[in-house]
Amino acid sequence: MSNVNTELSYLLRRPVARTTSVVFASPHSGRKYPASFLRRAVLNEKDIRSSEDAFVDDLFGGAVDHGAPLLLAQAPRAYLDLNRGPDEFDPAVIDGVRRVAHNPRIASGLGVIPRVVSGGRSIYDGKLTLTEAHQRIKTVWRPYHDTLQSLMDEAHRTFGEAILIDCHSMPHEALEHVGPPGTTRPDVVLGDRFGASAASSIVEQVEAAFGAAGFKVARNMPFAGAYICQQYGRPSRRHHAVQVEIDRSIYMDEATIKPNANFKAFKAKLDGVMAEIAGIGRPSDLRVAAE
């Protein structure tokens, strides 16, 4: 990996001592927008950020204090979506791509190189070349995923298991139809692909950590996990992946993409949740020493 320029791909923060099998990662909080990309985009600076999981990297920044590594995307989701497969090319935005079997993510404009941002707003007024698409995969997608796989493998070698917490945020409006009318909307949605990407015991402990902090938690609706959970969640091999979606309105003003007055208090509360989650992957002898 030393010969790869990762400046636009990822930032890896490691703890002084790794004490847990848990890996925290944020694939959608990147905000290094290449100038060449912005010149081609037809959206203004605020609209192009609407798909970004703004401030999630900051909110989960304390993971290293709890003995866990933290992998952060640097490139924005509008440029390349790290939660998609490297072959999920959209023929409507990439020239020379053949149409394949129906893929709902590609059909909606949300392939690995997105055609649209939130609200279905087009990013480009033309198509990218296939060469450029492959270059983005090579320089952004592969370094991030190679590193994530290495972190998972390292956890498994050291602790006998690996637990990925895939960190995301969700628009408040996405929760509008979750649950019966009149019920309280969840603050957090955990996705385990309906049991396929993580053992139930792991998900239950993650849910309990958020619940103990006062958050209302739902599972798999409306977000069950996408490519990352599908790729890295192998419970039978003791590789678990849980997607965490947090309601953005709790800590930010979605219209202005700025932290709100609750940001610091929420971050402090989330830090306690991270400590509990890190404890899930801590060997019993280290767990006792930390208490």
Domain locations along the chain: 10-79+141-290
Query: What pLDDT shows up at residue 1?
Result: 33
pLDDT of 291: 38
| Contact yes or no for 276/210 (Cβ under 8 A) | no
SS3 content of the chain, % helix, strand, coil (to 5): 40, 15, 45
What's the CA gap between 134 and 87, in Å, rounded? 9
pLDDT digits (tens, 9 = 90+) for 173-201: 877 766 666 677 899 999 999 999 999 99
CATH class of this structure's domain 10-79+141-290: alpha beta
pLDDT of residue 180: 64
| Residues comprising the chain, all counted | 291
The reply to whether the predicted model has a pTM over 0.85 is yes
Beta bridge pairs of residue 243:
166, 191
Task: Give the pairing type, strands 188-191 and 217-219.
Answer: parallel
Segment (H or E) for 11:
strand 10-13
User: What integer pLDDT is reported at residue 6 of this predicted model?
Assistant: 67
Question: How far is the C-alpha of 71 from the C-alpha of 159, rounded, in Å?
Answer: 19
Give every residue of the chain whose pLDDT is below 50, as ranges: 1-5, 285-291
Q: What is the pLDDT of residue 181?
A: 65
Number of C-alpha atoms within 13 angstroms, CB side, residue 171? 13
